[in-house]
Structure formats: C-alpha cells, structure tokens
Structure 1
Amino acid sequence: MDLDELVELCHTDVSKNKEYLGLEKDDKGRYFLKVLTKKYQDTMYMYDFRDRMEKERDKYGKRAKEAKDMNGNDWKALSHSLRTLFEANEMLSKGFVNYPLNSSDLLKKVKEGEVSFDEFEEAYGSMRKMVDDLASSNPQTNRLDKNAQRQMVLNLYRKDSGDEQRTD
C-alpha cells in the first residue's frame, strides 16, 4: 500500500492539514505513524496496519464516502444545522419548541439531499439572520437567571436521589 492508497483509504486530503498524517517520536524514542487521531507503532506489520485502516474506514468511512459521492456535502449534518436554527427561532419567538417542526418537510428534503446546495445556503442564511436578529433584540438572551439555574440543578439532584418533595 503506498501513501496515495492510504490517504484514499482514510478519505483525507492531507494537503489541507498536515496534522492528519505524520511521523511522531515519543519520549522513549519509539516512532509512530499518526493517521487522523490514531497512532500506529512503526514496528507493526503492514498487513496489520492495513486491517486497522480498513476497520477505521468501515467505522467512519461510510458517511465520508456518501459525502464524497454527493460533492462533499454531508446532507445529514447540514439538515441538523438547519434544524437547530428552526428550533432556536421558535424558542426565541415563542418561548418553547413545538414538535414536529413546521419545517420538517424541508428538513427531510435537505437530509435526503433533495435540494441543491444553493437552496440549502439560502434557507440557512435567511434562518441564521432571523435567529441572530431575534437573539440581539431579545433581552432574555443576554441575561442568565442564576436562581433558576441553581433551582434546576438542585431539582436534578433531588430527582436523581429520589428526594423530589423539597422545592427550596
């Protein structure tokens, strides 16, 4: 296996970030090949290394391959980012979030990759502006109610310990 095959196996463009792939030496003088977040000792047999790389690919590579097949767009992650904006919009404008969201049809289309990236960007940009405007005009977003926070933590402890009767 050459370096190009290894990079393809990891679905990584090392030219963008040299930390993805490198050789490191520990304080005992041992060398390790660093690939993404894993380190492999240089004494490892190539077939063991290949097997471990294939396991990592199988573990993480499915979504990376799907994103690669969709021009680099991870539609599931994009739909989650858009969903959080819709939830933030409802929370800031109504004080609560109703499920299912009114935007659930659009979110499903985004998740399935049934919209263009330009359409996603437009929806994301307009929702982001709306949420930013609501957050900047809402005095509650700039204030932390320490008493409410303390009470919530105490209630969680009480619930966990089975002592739910006290409210002080």
Structure 2
Amino acid sequence: MDLIVDMRFGSHLYGTQTPSSDLDYKAVYLPAARDILLHRVRGTITEKVEKAPGEKNRPGDVDRDTYSLQHYLDMLAEGQTVALDMLFAPDAAMTRPPSPLWREIQANAPCLVTRRSAIVVRYCRRQANKYGIKGSRVATARQALAVLTTAEATYGPAARLGEAEAELRAFVGAQDHAALVEVPSSEDKPLRHLEVCGKQMPFTASIRNARETARRLVDDYGQRALQAERNDGVDWKALSHAVRVGHQALELLGTGKITFPLPNAADILAIKRGEQPYETVAATIEHLLTAVETAAATSTLPDEPDRDFIDTLIVRAHRAKVLEAP
C-alpha cells in the first residue's frame, strides 16, 4: 500500500496515554492505478482486534484506520476532528517519514481549515448529554422503554400513543429528561408529543412505533453509557474527550492550528482518571461550548475550504499514479 502518512493517534498523540491505553494508528494512502481507473477505491480500510460485543480494547490492542487521499481531504473539508488532528500531528507521532504530498497538504492548511471546525461543538454537547451524572439519561430512556412496553401489552401494538396519556403523564412527572410537549403540525394545530432525552414521539404514532423508538434510544447510548450508570454515572473518558476537543477548537479557531501533545494534557488526563469533581468538569464543558460558539462567530478562518486546491491535488496525485503504472 502506498502510504502518504502513517501516525500514532489517540491518547499517544494527545499525550494522555496510560498503561492501559490501546494503540491507535491513522494513515492516508494513495490508491493503486487499477483501483482508480475502475472506481474501486476504498475510502476507509479498518484493521482491529476481533472482540465480543461490548468488549473494550485491552492494553496493547492495535486499531488502524487508513483513509484514501480523496476521502481524507473530504473529511478535512467537513471539519471532522479526526482529519484535523491528523493534519496537525507532529513528526514525532509519525511511524515513518511522510511523503512530499503530505507536506504539501500540511503547508496548505490555511486554505483547508474553516469555521466548519466548530462541528466539535456538537460533539461536546453530545458527549455531555450522553454521559450525564448518575446515568440519569440512560435511566430515563430505559424507564420509558418499560412504560411503553407495558402500554403496548395493555392497549395493543396498533393503539395510538395518546391512549396511554395517563401512564405517560405519571412517567414524565417523575423524570428529569422526559416531558409532554406541543409541536406545531402542518395544519397549524399543535400536536402532542412524548419527548424522552430529546427524542420526540407523536401521540398519533402507534405505541409499537414509540416503543421501538425508545428501544433504539436505549441501544444508542451503548455499552459505555450503561457502564457509566453502574459506576456512579460518569464516563470520565467520554467527558475528557469533550473537554479536549473544546480546547482544541478554541485554539484552531483562534490560531488556525492545533498543538500536539496537548498543552493541557495533564488536566485532560486528570479528568480521564476521575480526579476532578463532576460538577467542575460539567461547568468546564458548558463554558467551552459557549466559548467555541463565540470563537466560531468571530474567527478569521474562511467559511469554506479551497475546493479547487483539493480537486487539483487529487487529480494530480491520481494522474501520476496511473501514468507510472505498467
């Protein structure tokens, strides 16, 4: 495989690794001429240790994602955090000297990095919501599933959700993350919905459909959130990621670059280990959310990436690959 760059990633890039950290690698490759001509280029090639469902990586386990040149540049243009971290990774993180093509990409960072990098705001908010204190969101989702399962057995799967309004009122009255809300409809007449952890289910839907929505919500929280609920409700690793990307976004929006290892790696590691009060970390995340939104609005970074540069670079690299083929 013709690798443009290959690097250590994750905690070993951030400077937050611990003895229990696994090994994570990211790379970018130039596809073979045959694959380019036949339009068979794989955007992402993933290699990882086979594990049982829900099983975490063990110390020393190796995960590797290798992106095609075009897919990587598309990710970068979208402001995805993985691509941004790779762009600013220092030579010390490289497993081999990067190619001149990678150096060209790095040198043109100013026309590739945009305000879209504020996509991390959504990441921070999602992490904070997903791994709240004492797993309260997880508990609410699971309780909603139990209530709707009972309602389905009582009224039948085809019955409208509104038929169980009495049970739903009792449920939302005892939950922090559930409510009955009125949502405008196409007929300008408000339609009542059951809202659970941000998910809305109209009273006109069948109880079966609502129950399936609740089931998917529980599943979406995943194994880490369920574990957080059992371990006093805080997934410190997830919250450390939220704080990390918030600080990275502020640096990027203010300076157009990200520094690795992270200047505040020690603080991030302390959060990861659960050495700071949850309330302090939660307040930090809320502050970062506001600060990043403000920074995105005032940043001098361009609104859009230089697509002409990206397209020209891909065409040139692919053409050279095809012409050098036997």
Question: Could you state the TM-score of these two structures normalised by the residue count of structure 2?
Answer: 0.31
Aligned residue number for residue 138 of structure 1: 299
1:93 aligns with 2:259: no
Aligned residue number for residue 158 of structure 1: 318
Between the two structures, name the one with larger relative contact order (CA 8 Å, sep ≥ 6): 2
Distance 2:254 2:247 in 1: 11
Structure 1, unaligned stretches of length 5 or more? 1-10, 25-33, 38-59
Distance 2:298 2:282 in 1: 24
Q: 1:131 to 1:154 in 2, by over 3 A?
A: farther
Instruction: Give the counterpart letter for 2:246 in structure 1.
Output: L
Q: 1:90 to 1:153 in 2, by over 3 A?
A: farther
Deviation at 1:16, TM superposition (A): 2.9
Contact 1:85-1:127 within 8 A present in 2 as well: yes
Instruction: Give the counterpart letter for 2:142 in structure 1.
Output: V
Instruction: Give the counterpart letter for 2:254 in structure 1.
Output: S
Q: What CA RMSD, in Å, does the superposition of the two structures yield over aligned residues?
A: 3.8
Distance 1:68 1:164 in 2: 57
1:121 aligns with 2:282: yes
Q: 1:140 to 1:115 in 2, by over 3 A?
A: same
Instruction: Give the counterpart letter for 1:118 in structure 2.
Output: E
Q: Give 4+ residue runs of structure 1 displaced > 6 Å after superposition.
A: 20-24
Q: 1:164 to 1:102 in 2, by over 3 A?
A: farther
Question: Could you state the TM-score of these two structures normalised by the residue count of structure 1?
Answer: 0.55
Deviation at 1:137, TM superposition (A): 0.5
Instruction: Give the counterpart letter for 1:67 in structure 2.
Output: A
The count of residues paired between Structure 1 and Structure 2 equals: 124
Distance 2:261 2:269 in 1: 12
Aligned residue number for residue 237 of structure 2: 76
Aligned residue number for residue 15 of structure 1: 143
Percent identity (aligned): 20
Bigger Cα displacement from structure 2, 76-85 vs 124-133 = 124-133
Q: 1:162 to 1:153 in 2, by over 3 A?
A: closer
Aligned residue number for residue 4 of structure 2: none
1:103 aligns with 2:264: yes
Aligned residue number for residue 96 of structure 2: none
Contact 2:248-2:258 within 8 A present in 1 as well: yes
Answer 1 or 2: which has greater helix percent: 1
SS at match of 1:120: helix
Structure 2, unaligned stretches of length 5 or more? 1-137, 158-211, 217-221
Aligned residue number for residue 13 of structure 2: none
Distance 1:153 1:86 in 2: 31
Instruction: Give the counterpart letter for 2:243 in structure 1.
Output: L
Distance 1:147 1:81 in 2: 33
Bigger Cα displacement from structure 2, 64-73 vs 123-132 = 64-73
